[in-house]
Amino acid sequence: MVDNNGVYLKQMGSKIKLARKTQKISLPKMSKLCATDMSNLWFIENGERNVHILTLKSIADVLKMDVKDFL
């Protein structure tokens, strides 16, 4: 059985990063707006950390998007 979780996390993180950069929001500003540590956000965007659903909701809210846009 192939573990696709890493691929899935990288794809989701890439979507988050692209949306943030498209809206010209810096990583430090995004972390403040989401009330999450900047390193945590970096790991999420790079697909190296599983994201808590409430953190994902906070990210989506800041970017004026829906959680499903990242899935």
DSSP string for residues in 21-59: HHTT--HHHHHHHHTS-HHHHHHHHTT-SPPPHHHHHHH
Question: Sorting pLDDT into bands at 50, 70 and 90, what band is 3?
Answer: confident
Structure confidence by residue, pLDDT tens digits, 23-70? 999 999 999 999 999 999 999 999 999 999 999 999 999 999 999 999
CATH superfamily entry for domain 5-70: lambda repressor-like DNA-binding domains (1.10.260.40)
Q: Residue type for 56, please?
A: L
- Residue 64, CB-side half-sphere exposure with 13 Å CA sphere: 3
Structure confidence by residue, pLDDT tens digits, 37-50? 999 999 999 999 99
Residue 57 φ then ψ, to 5°? -65, -40
Say if pTM beats, i.e. exceeds, 0.85.
yes
The DSSP letter of residue 65 is -
